[in-house]
Amino acid sequence: MMGYVPASTCGDAIASSTTSASDQYKTSTTTGRAMPARTTPVGTRRTGSSAGYDCDVLIVGGGIVGLSTAYAITRAAPGTRVLVLEKEHGPARHQTGRNSGVIHSGIYYRPGSLKARFAVQGAAEMVEFCAEHGIAHDVTGKLIVATEREELPRLHALIQRGRQHGIPVSELGPSQIAEHEPHVRGLAAIHVGTTGVCDFGAVAGKLARLAKDGGALVRYGTEVTAVDRRPGAGVAVEVAVAPQAGASSQAAAGRTPARTSVVRARAMVNCAGLHCDRVAQLTGDVPPARIIPFRGEYFELDSAREELVRGLVYPVPDPAFPFLGVHLTRGIEGGVHIGPNAVPALALEGYDWRTVRPRELAAVLAHPGTWRVARRHWRYGAGELRRSLSKRAFTKAVQRLLPEVTEDDLVPAPAGVRAQAVLHDGTLVDDFLITEGQHAVHVLNAPSPAATASLPIGREVAGRALEALRATAR
Ligand SMILES: Cc1cc2nc3c(=O)[nH]c(=O)nc-3n(C[C@H](O)[C@H](O)[C@H](O)COP(=O)(O)OP(=O)(O)OC[C@H]3O[C@@H](n4cnc5c(N)ncnc54)[C@H](O)[C@@H]3O)c2cc1C
């Protein structure tokens, strides 16, 4: 028997089922994956509007975007049964917990883009959210510093853009740069008033608690492994439930197999970050872009040299690669982070060169966009690789902004991996990308500044998910 779970126990399906998948799954004709051989089709046990379903909206991914979406649904439509499934044993274990912690002002983004709208609005909301919930944050402002003449026109264009967005910017000459940052050198700079820092991991944790207070269930250690979509009815999702972290030495050694279960939902939201394209494919939808994982490596300033940097210092971004360019960030906990660079990761969660997952790597290499990016941008790539493999080269890049820094001042710090969506023709998707399939909403590109923008993004995704619910009910 497949583990059918009454609708009233939304999410308890995951906690209770001990069913083995092997004898109960057949191949789906839509996705070619092992799928539940359903004893009761989704939605047939209806006695009320939600009978037959374990929940209304199932959200895949407990990063800041998934949790913000859950929170937004519980606020916009109280009573909607929301279930968040996260494969790790806690929230924010990937991009959300491994970033620069900067509340971006939104100054870089093209007017009219989702990034511009959600970042400008999201930055203000993030500051309010942190203040309201006692999460450490600071609106420090930041300097964007031109160190070469050829960067000056781009710096001036940024001033115009900032003003278009209503962001407070002021122009600085070399002596004014020194007033803000005595050890930083540049030809000219702008000061952006609304940039800040916070702990996005803590924000995600708070969003999870608020969503739970609003009636949502958040299950950790549960990975979505297959999806069976029934047009007009909803989705049945196969879930692998990992043994509790630290539950037993056997489990810790990976000898206890994951249990599987099936959860039925009227609509599904895919906020799976680095895995979002794969999860979209599980539903049978064809994502217009694939994720290429780019690792961002950091150093931190040795504590004895932290006085070299007071706040946030950025180079003028290259419009082709706005996320490139090593910057200096005094984080909310006081230390100074330097980085990140951007090198191809050899696994979706490849936080160092030793982590290689051949199957994930093969999928990335099979994407035609990967080769086109490589051909088009190999020069940049080579520079980033050099700075990854040579601390001396990395230090040299930092010295452009901070001439006094030496190799000995830099201490390696944990890396993050960016989920960058890339089209088949090799174009890096610049804007946030949210698409819809039947009974499904997919967040397919949520790179920086998506943590800053997570509150408005969550509302946007929630609105689309509620619309998908209404479509199922019709
Ligand atoms: C190096 C770096 C620096 C950055 N700096 C900043 C910054 O300063 N400011 C800023 O605003 N943004 C920054 N960003 C971007 C920001 O971190 C991300 O945009 C944001 O965290 C994306 O959140 P997310 O929820 O989409 O993804 P994630 O945080 O990656 O969450 C996705 C979750 O889905 C889970 N998942 C995946 N597949 C499954 C599955 N099958 N079943 C269940 N769960 C699954 C994963 O375990 C993960 O927890 C940075 C990113 C990086 C990598």
**Residue with CA at minimum distance from ligand 1 atom 25:** 63
pTM for this entry:
0.91
Q: Ligand 1: distance of its center to the CA of 407 in Å?
A: 30
Tell me: pLDDT of 30 over 50. no
Q: What average pLDDT does the segment 88-96 reach?
A: 98
Structure tokens at 344: 């191809």
- Residue 291 CA to ligand 1 center (angstroms) comes to 12
433-472 pLDDT per residue, tens: 999 999 999 999 999 999 999 999 999 999 999 999 988 7
| Residue 287 φ/ψ, nearest 5 degrees | -70, 140
The reported pLDDT for the residue numbered 7 is 36
Q: pLDDT tens digits, residue range 119-168?
A: 999 999 999 999 999 999 999 999 999 999 999 999 999 999 999 999 99
Ligand 1 centroid to residue 93 C-alpha, Å: 8
Q: In this structure, which residue's CA is closest to atom 13 in ligand 1?
A: 448
Burial degree of 92 (CB within 10 A; 0-12, 13-18, 19+): buried
* Average pLDDT value for residue range 358-372: 97
Percent of the chain having pLDDT more than 70?
86
Q: How far is the CA of 95 from the centre of ligand 1 (A)?
A: 3
pLDDT class for 243, splitting at 50, 70, 90? confident
- Which of left, alpha, beta for 242 (phi over 0: left; psi -120 to 50: alpha)? beta
| pLDDT average, residue stretch 252-275 | 86
User: Looking at ligand 1, which residue's alpha carbon is closest to its atom 38?
Assistant: 272
Please tell me the predicted confidence (pLDDT) of residue 128.
Answer: 98
Residue 321: Cβ within 10 Å count: 13
Checking if the pLDDT of 361 tops 70, the result is yes
Write the pLDDT tens digit of every residue in 190-209: 999 999 999 999 999 999 99
Lowest model confidence (mean pLDDT) among 151-165, 322-336, 417-431: 322-336
Q: Which domains does the chain have, with CATH numbers?
A: 7-43+52-95+202-271+446-473 (3.50.50.60), 293-426 (3.30.9)
Site to substitute for ligand 1 among 93, 95, 129, 441, most atoms within 8 A of C-beta: 95
The rounded distance, in Å, linking the Cα atoms of 283 and 30 is 8
Tell me the one-letter amino acid at 247: A
For residue 63, the CA-to-ligand 1 centroid distance in Å is: 6
Measured in Å, residue 275 CA sits from the centre of ligand 1 at 10
- Return the minimum-mean-pLDDT range out of 171-180, 238-247, 250-259: 250-259
Angle at which helix 64-76 crosses helix 454-473, to 10 degrees, equals 60
Q: Residues lining ligand 1, CB < 6 A?
A: 60-66, 85-88, 92-96, 98-102, 104, 223-224, 271-275, 279, 296, 340, 416-418, 446-452
Residue 112 has pLDDT above 80, yes or no: yes
C-alpha 273 – ligand 1 centre gap (Å): 5
